[in-house]
Amino acid sequence: QKEVEQNSGPLSVPEGAIASLNCTYSDRGSQSFFWYRQYSGKSPELIMFIYSNGDKEDGRFTAQLNKASQYVSLLIRDSQPSDSATYLCAVEASGGSYIPTFGRGTSLIVHP
């Protein structure tokens, strides 16, 4: 059973701070990793994807991947109240399967 683990939170940070969201996965051969944001009652939307070890930056968002530690994280700089949502980590299965497994998500609350 391939697993993707996230702390369900909530993670509460003040406006302007850095929010750090973490995800671990069990499938050592996974190659593709995704972060989705989901507002309450809405469907997930893609924030970032990362395929290689290291950091990938897009605006206020940075995804970090460490395949040796089977760990992927999402940093949100200058957090805004509009960033308050659930962040889902998804990991594509190895072995030629393209199907992602989702974590249960981390709830982020950014308070003014």
Partner 1 sequence: DAMVIQNPRYQVTQFGKPVTLSCSQTLNHNVMYWYQQKSSQAPKLLFHYYDKDFNNEADTPDNFQSRRPNTSFCFLDIRSPGLGDAAMYLCATSSPGAPLHFGNGTRLTVT
| Residues forming beta bridges with residue 20, ordered by sequence position | 75
Nearer to partner 1, 16 or 51 (CB): 51
SS3 80: coil
- Using an 8 Å Cβ cutoff, are 41 and 54 in contact? no
- Using an 8 Å Cβ cutoff, are 8 and 105 in contact? yes
d(CA 12, CA 93): 31
Using rule CB under 8 A, residue 105 touches partner 1: yes
Number of residues that bind partner 1 (CB under 8 A): 22
x/- track of binding to partner 1 for residues 22-51 (CB under 8 A)? ----------x-x-x----xxxxxx--x--
Contact positions toward partner 1, by CB under 8 A? 4, 8, 32, 34, 36, 41-46, 49, 88, 90, 92, 98-100, 102-105
